[in-house]
Structure 1
Amino acid sequence: MVELGVGTRGVTPIALTFQIGARTLASVDRSLIRVPYTLDAVLAAAPPVLPPLDGDGYLITSLPEPLLPTIQRDGMIGYVRQRYVRYHADFSVGHEAWLAALSGSARATIKRKTKKVAAASGGTLDIRAYRTPDEFAAFHPLARRVSARTYQEKLLGAGLPAAGDSLHRLIELAAADCVRAWLLSIAGEPVAYLCCTARGGTLLYTYVGHDPGYNDLSPGTVLQAEAMTQLFDDRFARFDFTEGEGQHKRLFATGGTRCVDLLLLRPTLANRATVAALAGFDAAVAVAKRAAASPLLARIARRVRR
């Protein structure tokens, strides 16, 4: 049996969010068993093995979309919360082949942005790599300075851990050679970080962020490009960009799998009301996004902002 994740967890409160972009407007807590797919399970299209039902139901994340019709619902309410491509990079292709597979414009963009970052730092690109426990101890406070300014931390609560069990786990992983981290500085100031953790032969896109004050220099793209170059000489078979999409992930990936996040809930009145509210909200957001893409409405919106 292909491992689905670090192991299905017991019932925990999970917030089902009403979210626009990175901003959460409201949330409803449900007691769910989370069943996360690893990249190995995604690529193998392994059917999920659900533990005995407890709480309100299940949240299956990164379920390969072709498996949706095979899910046994047994009277439960099924609702697809989001659809996305789970991207990954296969290091077995080799660095030269990976680089050649990028479009000419992508290679030119990376080169141009790298030169801009280097120029802003006196002509030298300042990217440092960290992996041992001592190196991670030096990396952490510098990366925390960046993380505290990112939208990942301010809006999503997904910044680099400052303390507690999550930080202790990172220290343990570094001691087991299961951490790879990088920091980009400009003129001596840390502005972007990437902290990845390993699961077997796969390296995960675990914590990432950059100082929004440097958005015009695209430091995250420059940092990721250098990290990818170094990883082709490392021990890992693949890089897992994890759940969710984004131009950044598409740029550096060698492949992707269409996935969904699936809610399976007991057919209670409260759960039916929750799914109806989520469906209505998600549909309204989708309509608003399509409307915003209209050139006429975009012009109106710009005038209103003025």
Structure 2
Amino acid sequence: MTAARVRLKFQVGARTLAGVSRRLERLPLGLEAVLSGAVPVLPPIGAADGYLVTSLPAAHLDALTGAWPLTAVRQRYTRHHVDLARGHEAWMAGLSGQARSGLRRKTKRLGGTVRAYRSAAEVGAFLDLAIPLAARTYQARHGLDAALSDDAAFRRGIVQAAREDRVRAWAMCVGERPIAYLCCTGQGRALRYDHVGHDPDFADRSPGTVLMAEALADLFGDRFAWFDFLEGEGQHKRQFATGGTECLDLLMLRPTIANRVVLAALGGFEGGVALARRSLAASPLRGRMRTLRR
């Protein structure tokens, strides 16, 4: 592994107010590693300032940090997944009655058609269709990694992955107009929820939810063992997942004075933000401030 510069952010919601750079060895755990039950082995640290381990199962926290003097949990979340060995019928039966009826209602109301893409040529055509849409999505407007990129190197990488049978992609269209897309890449036996977006003009019709359900229906019987919803929470992840692992992102720094100051500052800032949120939640002005933001 090669250490890289990582910006540790002083962040309120999606807004970054400041940041401190550290050179870190990054250890992002794939779903197979998360589900294996094995404690990850840290690579040599070299000249790096420390490690950033993402999607570490919470149960492994003490085992990994036992002798490490300077650590901080950056965030906690459930890493949701779908066990594709269950089959579509069993997966549908596992949804609540309300979820099934809501999905049927949304699908009928949307009235779109889904196109699936798999080969390199098909994925090239998918990118031609989806990249212009991606520029209009929430993910692109907020600079999120989930947005498709129009970068030539990114495109070449996705097409090459398709040649290796590591891409599954779908587009939801109303007539000939694409209104939602999903592009997933394989990592071992898991298919990752990598790139997703929908046309904001159709947001009230839940095109992303409908497309996700259609994509999962396609995947039962595919070569992948799991659909990996990756890090982070989301109502659709909780609704569609068949399981989940409590995970966290762990920062481990060398015990220098500078690093101690950085962690103390981050901890103090995030504690202040959390206190402010709790105070706002209890304030009678909360509803008025929401009205003003609208």
TM over 0.5: yes
**Number of aligned pairs?**
292
SS, match of residue 156 in structure 2: helix
The aligned counterpart of 1:4 is: none
SS, match of residue 284 in structure 2: helix
The aligned counterpart of 2:241 is: 253
- Kindly indicate whether the alpha-carbon contact (under 8 Å) linking 2:168 and 2:185 is maintained by their aligned counterparts in 1: yes
1:190 matches 2:178: yes
- Kindly indicate whether the alpha-carbon contact (under 8 Å) linking 1:63 and 1:260 is maintained by their aligned counterparts in 2: yes
Of 113, 125, 130, the match for 1:143: 130
> TM-score, normalized by length of structure 2?
0.93
Q: Name which of structure 1's ranges 218-227 and 37-46 shifts more when overlaid on structure 2.
A: 37-46
Of 116, 121, 125, the match for 1:134: 121
The aligned counterpart of 2:88 is: 95
The aligned counterpart of 1:46 is: 38
- Kindly indicate whether the alpha-carbon contact (under 8 Å) linking 1:12 and 1:31 is maintained by their aligned counterparts in 2: yes
1 CA distance for matches of 2:106 and 2:12?
29
What code does the residue aligned with 2:136 have? R
Change (3 A) 1:269 1:213: farther
SS, match of residue 296 in structure 1: coil
What code does the residue aligned with 1:126 have? T
What code does the residue aligned with 1:284 have? G
What code does the residue aligned with 1:45 have? G
- Kindly indicate whether the alpha-carbon contact (under 8 Å) linking 2:32 and 2:189 is maintained by their aligned counterparts in 1: no
SS, match of residue 197 in structure 1: strand
SS, match of residue 233 in structure 1: coil
SS, match of residue 264 in structure 2: helix
What code does the residue aligned with 1:152 have? Q
The aligned counterpart of 2:6 is: 14
The aligned counterpart of 2:72 is: 79
What code does the residue aligned with 1:92 have? A
Q: CA deviation at 1:207?
A: 0.9
Of 180, 195, 200, the match for 2:188: 200
SS, match of residue 18 in structure 2: strand
Of 97, 101, 110, the match for 1:108: 101
Change (3 A) 1:217 1:31: same
2 CA distance for matches of 1:231 and 1:42?
21
Equivalent residues in 2 for 1:210-249 (5 A)?
A: 210-249=198-237
The aligned counterpart of 1:37 is: 29
1 CA distance for matches of 2:175 and 2:281?
39
Can you list the C-alpha shifts for 1:145-187, whole angstroms capped at 9, x where unaligned? 1211123223234121212433222111100111000011224
2 CA distance for matches of 1:288 and 1:211?
34
Q: CA deviation at 1:206?
A: 1.0
RMSD of aligned C-alpha atoms?
A: 1.8
Change (3 A) 1:12 1:148: same
- Kindly indicate whether the alpha-carbon contact (under 8 Å) linking 1:194 and 1:208 is maintained by their aligned counterparts in 2: yes
What code does the residue aligned with 1:156 have? G
What code does the residue aligned with 1:25 have? L
What code does the residue aligned with 2:142 have? L
Can you list the C-alpha shifts for 1:260-304, whole angstroms capped at 9, x where unaligned? 100001122322222122212322333344344448343232354
SS, match of residue 160 in structure 1: coil
Change (3 A) 1:50 1:213: same
- Kindly indicate whether the alpha-carbon contact (under 8 Å) linking 2:24 and 2:50 is maintained by their aligned counterparts in 1: yes
2 CA distance for matches of 1:164 and 1:13?
24
2 CA distance for matches of 1:117 and 1:50?
48
Of 59, 72, 79, the match for 1:66: 59
Can you list the C-alpha shifts for 1:217-263, whole angstroms capped at 9, x where unaligned? 11110110100111113221110111111112111100000001000
